[in-house]
Amino acid sequence: MRSFSVVLAFLIAAGTVHGETLFERGDVVVQSSASSPFGPPYPDYADLSVADSFGQEKAIDGRFELPPFAGGLLFLDQQRALYVGPLGVTSWTDGISVRSVFLGPLNLHAAGEILQMRSGDLLTAERYRLGGLPRIVRFNSSGDVLWVYELTGAPPRAWYFGSEPNSFVGAEHFDVLRDQCTLLWTPGPSAARNGGIRVRVFDICTGRAASDFTTLPPEIEQLGAIRALPNGDVLIATPVDIRRFNAAGQQVAEYRAPVLFGRLMSSAPTFLALTPDASGFWAAVGDAVQRIDFASPDLIAARFRMDSGGTINLLAVVGEWRASLATPRRRSAGH
């Protein structure tokens, strides 16, 4: 099988035929998908919007497409991206349609976010799994699987008559801290729970679970995205606000969540993505997207809305600052 890296090298050269890149650093990419009135999603419907860092929408002329209900989107640079779909992980390079799919043999169940490490390794996680514990998969840019971690202690998947037998909820959202080892994750809304929602910790260097980062109060029905900040603080989204915690798991601030347009507050998850310089963040929920800058947290720096009538299921920023790409700090003795 031809290596993924060789295919990418060829496609980078092919992608220059347009003369200019489709995306610019700081662009915001949002996908919304619609569900039928009776619950199940429309399998072929998805609306994609791209805006610049000021919230001004941009035309993409059909040069970039995602499958409906894509699980996650990662921009390697302005011309290359990876996204998670039903078949595995697919690559995209501007200028040519790419069908390189890998991790397919693992048969991932509802794979979600995708993240890159400083080493170049990649991570994706199952949001749930039937018949076993959900997995986090670590792989390289050639598609070779390096590690498969099982989330020990993952909560059972709840349904109308109790917990579903041998079915567990995995990492709906996750982020890796600057130490390149600590992975924070939140379970999806179908997780069975007693009390508040736990923000869990998994050490990808040892392959073991660690003590919880924090627990949100019982009135918070579900958690959204997680983003680690340069100073060690962590943002965690809820349906009503975005909360900021220090490295000890203590809440130190909160920011307003986007206000839904023409609809009541729903149980839709809230997505987060940092700006490239980490001076602020984009948040998306329902049909609304907004940017807040840390220098002026009481103001909305930019905003736009999806007009498709669907619910946002994906948010990405080109060149997003990520703690997983930062220089790791040396661990203390015994850690």
pLDDT, one tens digit per residue, over 131-172 is 889 999 999 988 899 999 999 888 888 875 555 678 899 999
Dihedral over Cα of 76, 80, 81, 87: its sign: negative
Token pair listed for 189: 């809304």
Show the DSSP H helices in the chain as ranges: 4-14
Which pLDDT score, from 0 to 100, does residue 102 have? Answer: 76
Cα three-residue angle 125-129-132, rounded to 5 degrees: 110
What does the pLDDT average to over 112-128? 94
Q: What is the pLDDT of residues 273-328, one digit of tens each?
A: 999 999 999 999 988 999 999 999 999 999 998 876 678 889 999 999 999 999 87
- Cβ atoms 257, 268 nearer than 8 A: no
Token pair listed for 332: 């203390």
Cα three-residue angle 107-139-273, rounded to 5 degrees: 95
| DSSP letter for each residue of 270-318 | PEEEE-TTSSEEEEEETTEEEEEETTSTTS--EEEE--SS-EEEEEEET
Which pLDDT score, from 0 to 100, does residue 149 have? Answer: 95
* Listed range (74-88, 181-195, 225-239, 294-308) with the worst mean pLDDT: 181-195
CATH 2.60.40.420 fits 4-324, yes or no: no
What does the pLDDT average to over 74-85? 92
